[in-house]
Structure 1
Amino acid sequence: MKAKDIMTKDLTSVTETATLKKVEELLSRSRLSGIPVVDDEGKIIGYISEKDIIESAFPALGMGTDMLFVRNWAKNFLRLSQVGESLVRDYMTREPVCVTEEASDFEIVEKMITNHRKVLPVIRDGKLVGIITRSNLTRALMEKKEEQ
């Protein structure tokens, strides 16, 4: 099975000049944990996630263990609200992990697991053509198993 058979043709994305507030709104509406960052021609140039937004408010803590220890929630929520006007370009991952439409299901699984990704952008000639979420992948793998 190839990426083009699994992907959602969701082209939800932002430019690097979008605010983190705009990203948060898109993530909430689309129910994604992250979205691609594209240039004016639709070429993928980065990726921004919920984790990046949280880390923008707490840069000293990082989230290497995916746990965030905080003592003063009111102060920390204030920090999060203040980063809303920050720009995507300052916090995005500049070398996003992507797959092409022809990537195999094994390659997709490998990239998701080794790179700790919940969403993989799918590209053709460097341009965004869709995404694969973990949900897309598990559904496809279950269907493949049933066909065998």
Structure 2
Amino acid sequence: MQARDIMVEALSVTPELSVRELVGLLLREHRDGACVIHDGELVGVVTTMDLVFQEKRVHLPAILSFMDFAIPLESPAKLRDELDKISGTQVSEIMSDEPVVVEPSTPMSELATMMVEQHLTILPVVERGRVHGVVTKEALLRATFAAKD
């Protein structure tokens, strides 16, 4: 089986959609994520984990103190990015803007491996720049166990 055989219709949202509206849409549609589309092109993916991320504690960077100097051990940009995502009010502020995508011919075993190893919730199925659907964990489970029956 390939991605084209198990994909489901993609739920699409715009980058300008509010986080509050996104939550309502995902709950109403019983979805774990959506493709973010701008001018007909995939510009990102937003998932329920991006929303859960907003509720996490802020990770303060480790600091090495040497004499009277404080030396940050992590990039200040990482903290800034985390704070921006936690405080985001629009989809564009919380989405993953470099989504992992697959082709319709991607084998099911590769889809499963990608989802597990990269901790992915949904995989957009893209061909010639157009989103044809998404592979979800649920769709993958259904295909896996339907094939074993």
Q: What aligned pairs does 1:98-113 form with structure 2 within 5 A after superposition?
A: 98-113=101-116
Aligned partner of 1:60 in structure 2 is 58
Aligned partner of 1:145 in structure 2 is 148
Aligned: 1:23 with 2:22: yes
Q: What aligned pairs does 1:1-148 form with structure 2 within 5 A after superposition?
A: 1-8=1-8, 10-41=9-40, 43-58=41-56, 60-61=58-59, 86-146=89-149
Partner AA of 2:107 in structure 1 = S
- Supply the distance in 2 between the matched residues of 1:59 and 1:50 (Cα, whole angstroms): 17
Gaps of 5+ in 2: 61-85
Question: Helix, strand or coil: the match of 1:99?
Answer: coil
Asked which structure has the greater CA Rg, the reply is 2
Contact 1:19–1:84 (CA under 8 A) maintained in structure 2: no
More strand by share: 2
Q: Return the TM-score normalized by structure 1.
A: 0.74
Shift of 1:40: 1.9
- Supply the distance in 1 between the matched residues of 2:88 and 2:142 (Cα, whole angstroms): 37
Tell me the C-alpha RMSD between the 2 structures: 2.2
Percent identity for Structure 1 against Structure 2: 28
Shift of 1:85: 8.1
Contact 2:10–2:124 (CA under 8 A) maintained in structure 1: no
- Supply the distance in 2 between the matched residues of 1:22 and 1:85 (Cα, whole angstroms): 13
After superposing the two structures, state which structure 1 stretch, 126-135 or 104-113, moved more. 126-135
- CA 142–57 in structure 1, closer or farther in 2 if over 3 Å, else same: closer
